[in-house]
Amino acid sequence: MSKQVKRGILGLLMVFPSFLLLVVIVVIPIIISFKESLTNKTGGYDLSNYAYLFTDKLMRSNILFTLKVTIISVILVLIISYALAAYMRFHNGIVAKIIRETYMIPIFIPSVIATYGLIQLLGNHGWLARLLLMAHAGPLPRIIFDMKGIIIANLWFNIPFTTMLLSSALAGVPNSIIESAKDVGAGGLRIFFRFVLPLTYRTMLVAVTFVFMGIIGSFTAPFLIGANAPQMLGVSMEQIFGVFQDRQLAAAVAFFTFILCSAMGYFYIHSMIKEENAKLS
């Protein structure tokens, strides 16, 4: 047996435990969930549960609501996080220092506690509403128990992590490139779109993928501060499974959510492969 073959076998043996764990924890549950989602009321197999997802008015509104909240949240998280990361990268003042020392704090606050804090702050009888009442500024508009509350919670949960990823990417942008571009008269926007953004595109795509998958399957904040209808898919699935005891339909919702995440994963992998091929060509 050649040395190269021995190394190949050793590599497979080292990967096998992780692969086996992935199969047990991820692949098998997905297959079981898909099989369950195809089971109809009579015990046979068909696509009736998936047909219900797109024909029932409430389920359609839940799907559209979930996609709307997810897309808006991802866009806002990306814009705010990129702005914070860029400010910390290219500024050294007191404000940048404060941001560096505080932006990670939300990561260490449990989601339940953070959501409860939002209720106490933005609720109809919360701190902000009482302050506005004392200042005779009128009642506080409805923020939580609505889509706005879920988006605010998503910003709180995802901005620190995304900012951390983008900060590490921006730290790898050489100062010489920025200075050379300025020397030839390039403005701030031109430097950003021609140099900074292409150099951080890969990390930005990783951040968008993780944020998308985290938000689309979220439960705690949508359950506590979301409206009764429409609902995020995670809350809807829990209601279908826990309240209505419809395991087959809940499995269909779960597998459909997995398909949405897989589509985002495919976009990420396709973009990475396309970028690697462009480098090689």
Residue 280, pLDDT score: 66
**pLDDT of residue 219 exceeding 80:** yes
Please indicate, yes or no, if residue 12 is contained in any of the structural domains.
Answer: no
Rounded Cα distance, 184 and 162, in Å: 32
Per-residue pLDDT of 81-123, as tens digits, reads 999 999 998 888 899 999 998 999 998 999 899 999 998 888 8
**Residue 16 forms part of a structural domain:** no
Q: Which domain holds residue 222?
A: 56-280
For residue 187, being part of any structural domain is answered with: yes
User: Is 26 inside any structural domain?
Assistant: no
In a domain, 135, yes or no: yes
Tell me: pLDDT of 5 over 90: no
pLDDT value, residue 160: 94
CATH of the domain at 161: 1.10.3720.10
Confidence of residue 161 (pLDDT cuts 50, 70, 90): very high
> 45 pairs with which residues across the strands?
39
Which of 272, 243, 240 has the alpha carbon at shortest distance from 257? 240
The answer to the question of residue 179 being in a domain is: yes
Give the pLDDT confidence score for residue 232 in this predicted structure.
93
List pLDDT tens digits, range 28-43.
988 998 999 999 888 8
| Total domain count, the chain | 1
Whether the per-residue pLDDT at 228 is higher than 80: the answer is: yes
pLDDT of res. 59: 93
Cα separation of 231 and 128, whole Å?
26
- Distance (Å, rounded) from C-alpha 48 to C-alpha 78? 38
Classify residue 274: in a domain, yes or no: yes
Q: How many CB atoms within 10 Å of residue 138?
A: 8
**Alpha-carbon dihedral sign for residues 188, 189, 191, 192:** positive
Say if 18 falls within a structural domain.
no
